[in-house]
Chain A
Amino acid sequence: MEFFQAIFNMSAASFAQHMVNGISLGSLYAMIAIGYTMVYGILLMINFAHGDIVMMACYFAFFGITVFQIPWYLTFVGVIIATALLGVVIERTAYRPLRDAPKNSVLISAIGASFLLENLANYLFSGRPLRFPNIELLSQNIAIAGVQVQAISLVIPVVTMLCLVVLLHIVNHTKIGMSMRAVSKDYEIARVMGINIDNVISITFAIGSILAAIGAIMWGIRYPGITPLLGVMPGLKCFIAAVIGGIGNIKGAVLGGFILGLGEILIVAFFPQLSGYRDAFAFIVLIIILFYKPTGLLGEKTTEKV
Chain B
Amino acid sequence: MKKILSVLLASTFAVGMLAGCGGEKKDAAKSDVIKIGVFEPLTGDNAAGGELELRGIKLANKLHPEVLGKKVELVIADNKSDKAEAASVAARLIEKDKVKVIIGTYGSSLAMAAGNIVKENKIPAIGTSCTNPQVTANNDYYFRACFIDPFQGTVMANYAYKNGARKVAIIQEVSNDYAVGLAKFFKEAFVKLTGSPDSVIEVANYQTGDKDFSAILTNIKAKNPDAVFAPGNFTESALLIKQARQLGLNVPFLGGDTWETQEFIDVGGKDVEGASLSTAFDREKATTEEAKKFLDAYVKEYKGEPSALTALAYDAYLIAIDGIKRAGTTTDSVKIRDAIAQTKDLETVTGKTTLDKNGDAIKAAIIKTVKDGKFKYLDFVDVK
**Interface of A toward B, CB cutoff 8 Å:** 10-11, 14, 17-18, 21-22, 24-25, 128-131, 134, 141, 143, 148, 150, 223-225, 227, 229, 232-234, 264-269, 272, 275-276, 278-279
Chain A min CB distance to B290 (Å): 33
**30 A-B residue pairings within 8 Å (CB atoms):** A11-B222, A14-B219, A14-B222, A18-B218, A21-B214, A21-B218, A25-B212, A25-B214, A129-B266, A129-B267, A131-B266, A131-B269, A134-B269, A141-B246, A143-B248, A223-B239, A224-B242, A225-B235, A227-B235, A232-B209, A233-B209, A233-B211, A264-B215, A268-B216, A272-B204, A275-B204, A276-B205, A276-B206, A279-B207, A279-B210
Q: Which B residue sits closest to A21, measured CB to CB?
A: B214
Residues from chain A with a CB closer than 8 A to the CB of B238 are 225
CB contacts (< 8 Å) of A130 on chain B: these are 266-267
Q: Interface 1/0s, chain B 228-247, versus A by CB < 8 A? A: 00000011001100100011
User: Which size class do B's interface residues fall under?
Assistant: 20 to 34
A134 CA / B214 CA spacing, docked (Å): 19
- Chain B proximity of A103: nearest CB distance (Å): 30
Residue on B with the closest CB to A6? B219
Give the distance in Å from the alpha carbon of A233 to the alpha carbon of B207 in the complex.
11
Given A223-B239, A225-B235, the answer on whether A275 and B215 have CB atoms closer than 8 Å is: yes
Asked whether any CB of chain A lies closer than 8 Å to the CB of B263, the reply is yes
Residues of B within 8 A of A10 (CB): 222
Known contacts A25-B214, A227-B235, A276-B205; 11 additional CB pairs below 8 A are A24-B214, A129-B234, A129-B267, A131-B266, A223-B239, A225-B238, A232-B209, A272-B202, A276-B174, A278-B215, A279-B207
Q: Please give the distance in Å from A28's CB to the nearest CB on chain B.
A: 9
A275 touches B263 (CB 8 A): no
Most B CB contacts (10 A, CB to CB) among A141, A223, A268 go to A268
Instruction: Give chain A residues whose Cβ lies under 8 Å from the Cβ of B174.
Output: 276
A148:B239 contact, CB within 8 angstroms: no
Residues of B within 8 A of A275 (CB): 204-206, 215-216
Across the A-B interface, the 6 shortest Cβ-Cβ residue pairs: A276-B205, A268-B215, A21-B214, A223-B211, A148-B248, A276-B174
* Interface contact tally, CB-CB below 8 A: 92
Which chain A positions have C-beta within 8 A of B263? 128-129
Chain A residue contacts of B246, Cβ below 8 A: 141, 148, 150
The A interface is mostly helix, strand or loop, or mixed, namely helix
Knowing A225-B239, A225-B267 are in contact, say whether A269-B205 is a contact too (CB < 8 A). no
B214: chain A residues at CB < 8 Å are: 17-18, 21, 24-25, 265
- The residues of B that contact A14 with a CB separation of less than 8 Å are 218-219, 221-222
Residues of B within 8 A of A (CB): 174, 202, 204-207, 209-212, 214-216, 218-219, 221-222, 234-235, 238-239, 242, 246-248, 263, 266-267, 269
Please name all residues of chain B whose beta carbon is closer than 8 Å to the beta carbon of A18 when the two chains form the complex.
214-215, 218
**Are the CB atoms of A224 and B206 closer together than 8 Å?**
no
Residues of A within 8 A of B210 (CB): 233, 278-279
Please pick, from B212, B234, B267, the residue contacting A224 in the complex, using a CB distance under 8 A. B267
Min CB distance A155 to B, Å, is 14
In contact, B219 and A272 (Cβ under 8 angstroms): yes
In Å, the complex CA distance between A11 and B218 comes to 11
What CA separation (Å) do A224 and B270 show in the bound complex? 13
Whether B218 lies near A229 (C-beta < 8 A) is: no
Which chain B residues border A128 with CB–CB below 8 Å?
Answer: 263
Q: Which residue of A lies closest to B233 (CB)?
A: A129
Q: Which of B202, B210, B218, B219 has the most CB of A within 10 A?
A: B218
Closest to A11 in B: B222
Question: Whole-angstrom distance between the alpha carbons of A148 and B244 in the complex?
Answer: 10
With a cutoff of 8 Å between Cβ atoms, the chain B residues found around residue A148 in the complex are 246-248
A residues less than 8 Å from B204 (CB atoms)? 268, 272, 275
CA distance A227 to B209 in the complex (A): 10
Smallest CB separation, B154 vs chain A (Å): 23
Task: Report A127 CB to chain B, min CB distance, Å.
Answer: 10
Query: Which single residue of chain B is at the shortest CB-CB distance from A24?
Result: B214
Q: How far is the CB of A17 from chain B (nearest CB, A)?
A: 5
Contacts of A223 in B (CB 8 A): 211-212, 239
The complex places the Cα of A265 from the Cα of B215 at a distance, in Å, of 5
Q: Do A278 and B207 have beta carbons less than 8 Å apart? A: yes
Complex interface: chain B residues within 8 A of A229 (CB): 209
Please give the distance in Å from B68's CB to the nearest CB on chain A.
Answer: 46
Instruction: Name the residue on A nearest B174 (C-beta).
Output: A276
Contacts of B235 in A (CB 8 A): 129, 225, 227
Whole-angstrom distance between the Cβ of A122 and the nearest chain B Cβ: 14
Contacts of B242 in A (CB 8 A): 224
CB of B207 within 8 A of CB of A17, answer no
CB distance from B228 to the nearest CB of A (A): 14
* A residues less than 8 Å from B209 (CB atoms): 229, 232-233
With a CB–CB cut-off of 8 A, which chain A residues contact B234? 129
Residues of chain A within 8 A of B269, CB atoms compared: 131, 134, 224
Q: In the complex, A18→B212 CA distance in Å?
A: 12
A157 to chain B, nearest CB (A): 15
**B212 cross-chain contacts in A, Cβ below 8 A:** 21, 25, 223, 264-265
Q: B378 to nearest A CB, angstroms?
A: 24
A150 to B271 CA separation, bound complex (whole angstroms):
14
Give the residue name and chain of the B residue nearest to A232 (CB).
B209
A219's nearest neighbour on chain B, judged by CB, is: B211
* Chain A residues near B221 (CB-CB < 8 A): 14, 17
CB distance from A7 to the nearest CB of B (A): 13
A291 CA to B234 CA, complexed, in Å: 39
